Structure 1
Amino acid sequence: MFAAMFGSVEQGIIYAIMALGVYLSFRVLDFPDLTVDGSFVTGAAIAATMVVLGYNPILATVTALIVGFLAGCLTGLLHTKGKINALLSGILMMIALYSINLRIMGFSRENTISLPNIPLMNDETIFTKFTSYWSTLGIDDTLNGLLSSIGVKFLPQTWGILFLMILITLVFKFLTDWLLQTEIGLAIRATGDNKRMIKSFSANTDYLIIFGLGLSNALVAFSGALFAQYSKSSDVGMGIGMIIIGLASVIIGEAIFGTKTLMRTTMAVVAGAIIYRIILGLALRVDILDTGDMKLITAVIVILALVIPQFFEKRREKKRKAKRYAERMAAMNVSQGKGEDSVAQTGTD
């Protein structure tokens, strides 16, 4: 159980960066961007190809982020300059990226035009580099000693990956908070809320949409690059359903933690990604389910995350209406009582 939870938390933190990207496009820009399914694989393909070719894994990961930004900008250009429907723009870019990703992974092998997957079993990744440094600190022995003292049987070989991912995800979370509170960030948020209004202030909404989608897909591609190095492989089909995972993370986080402030909302998105992976990991431990049911489980989780909050909100609204009705009736009774008292007083006089 602890082993499944530990792996789910690690994957959830990696997916949290992707969920932040989905939050930027769907919630902030109000743009249904399906490029995510392609740009996630693009990030993984870029990172895996460069690692196999001997490049520094940190450089490979940063390059994946830049290429993801360009992919998002192209989606924005299709919509703003090509006047193509927002949903269709994302679909077209997602389809184009499928072939592009095959080509990118083909560069890792000589005389290969396209390649559907790249294994990274014996290659140095950003995680292996950090883990080798982490092991010299001796923190793993201390943490595992504490766990064994309370009866935990599964002890991870290293806590370094978890620590590194928490650090990276928090950096991107706070950078997102900072950006959305800058002048351009406020303009992007205003574009998502009311495009006509922000246009009336002479703002270039086309530029804001392109830039916002670029940032969104940069985060998605960065997450894909990290996931490829974490899972030791890059596959052309690994991005299928990523948009649903991102939406599930956003919806679950917002439903549980709320959206009162910007910083709270972004933290809710991060937490939602972790909770989603934990729920998925626990669901797969049920005997009647297997790994082939992951997409079905994801769909069910999203449906429940959408329906359950509405159910509770309706109940709260009924209670609020009943309370307001009771308060009005009480006020009417009091006013009627005062009126009768005044009439009685007048008759006595």
Structure 2
Amino acid sequence: MADLAVSTIAQGLMWSILAIGVFLSFRVLDVPDMTCEGSFPLGGAIAASLIASGASPWAAIAAGAAGGLIAGTVTGILYTKLKIPAILAGILTMIALYSINLHIMGKANISLLRVDTVFSTTASLLHVSQSTAAFIVPAVLMIIISALIYWFFGTELGMCIRATGYNPQMVRAQGVNTDTMIIMGLFISNALIGLCGAVVAQNNGFADVGMGIGTIVIGLASVIIGEVILGVDSFSGSLLAVVVGSIIYRVVIAVVLYLGMPPNDLKLFTAILVMLALAAPMIKGKVNIGKAG
């Protein structure tokens, strides 16, 4: 049971990288970006292809993040320069990435079972078990990424990106190019998502062209659950809420699977969970009104 708890928390930390990327686009930029369902498997496809070719698994993670960055930039250009609605721009990029991922891998999936990954190399370096390494790697990555994101969005450039999502008219009045800010925000968001895809592919032992299906719901579930439970009153609080929400989401998934829910129903369960989380503030408000009456 203890091993299951550690594994579940490790999964939550790993997927919180994706959740932060979704948080940046949906909450900070206020852009409904669907690119993540393509940039996530893109990161996995690039990482798996490089590792299978003998490249360093750490370099493969960086390459996966770079792939996500490019995907986010494409969506940003479609949205800001070609004036295609944000959600449609993301869908177009996502669809295009399906074929691109197939070309990168050369087939529908690549196995990583007989090659070194960041988890096996970390286990060998620290002389720990593979399961312990599977906890250490995402924990360290999450700490580094959270610190960098918190620092960057506290800089003048980062504040401009945040202000663009909050009040673009005001930012333009200050002489800031909001199109550039949106593109930067989207490529940071998708770089994190591509990085997450590269890490998850190594953890799973394979990369698959369909591994991105449902990632937007997973990311939103983590963001919304964290916000509902912890509330948000600052940027640092929001980052913490996203990480906690991702861990809670994984715990809930582990519990329902342990209780016997068929794996085929997980997507349905996730969708219902997100709907309940979104409706929670309204339900809570009505309950309070009923008590006051």
Query: Which TM-score bucket, shorter chain as reference?
Result: over 0.9
Structure 2 residue matching 1:32: 3-state secondary structure: coil
Q: Residue in 2 aligned with 1:215?
A: 188
- Whole-angstrom CA distance in 1 between matches of 2:285 and 2:2: 34
Which amino acid in 1 is paired with 2:262?
D
- List per-residue Cα deviations over 1:219-264 (Å, max 9, x = no partner): 0000000000001000011100100000000000011111111111
Q: Residue in 1 aligned with 2:8?
A: 8
- Whole-angstrom CA distance in 1 between matches of 2:33 and 2:133: 33
- Whole-angstrom CA distance in 2 between matches of 1:6 and 1:317: 41
1:1-349 alignment, distance < 5 Å: 1-106=1-106, 115-135=107-127, 158-287=131-260, 289-316=261-288
Report the TM-score, using the length of structure 1 for normalisation.
0.81
- Does structure 2 conserve the Cα–Cα contact (< 8 Å) formed by 1:30 and 1:192? yes
**Structure 1 residue 309: Cα displacement:** 3.1
Which amino acid in 1 is paired with 2:279?
V
Structure 1: which 5+ residue stretches go unaligned?
107-114, 141-156, 323-349
- Does structure 1 conserve the Cα–Cα contact (< 8 Å) formed by 2:7 and 2:131? no
- Does structure 1 conserve the Cα–Cα contact (< 8 Å) formed by 2:118 and 2:137? no
Which amino acid in 1 is paired with 2:217?
I
- Whole-angstrom CA distance in 1 between matches of 2:127 and 2:65: 28
Structure 2 residue matching 1:238: 3-state secondary structure: coil
Structure 2: which 5+ residue stretches go unaligned?
none
- Alpha-carbon RMSD across the aligned residues, in angstroms, is 1.5
**Structure 1 residue 61: Cα displacement:** 0.7
**Structure 1 residue 316: Cα displacement:** 4.3
**Structure 1 residue 285: Cα displacement:** 2.1
Structure 2 residue matching 1:284: 3-state secondary structure: helix
- Whole-angstrom CA distance in 1 between matches of 2:3 and 2:270: 21
Change (3 A) 1:317 1:23: farther
**Structure 1 residue 313: Cα displacement:** 3.5
- Does structure 1 conserve the Cα–Cα contact (< 8 Å) formed by 2:120 and 2:133? no
- Does structure 1 conserve the Cα–Cα contact (< 8 Å) formed by 2:33 and 2:90? yes
- Whichever of the two has the greater Rg, that structure is 1
Name which of structure 1's ranges 157-166 and 253-262 shifts more when overlaid on structure 2: 157-166
- Whole-angstrom CA distance in 1 between matches of 2:235 and 2:165: 15
Name which of structure 1's ranges 247-256 and 157-166 shifts more when overlaid on structure 2: 157-166
Report the TM-score, using the length of structure 2 for normalisation.
0.96
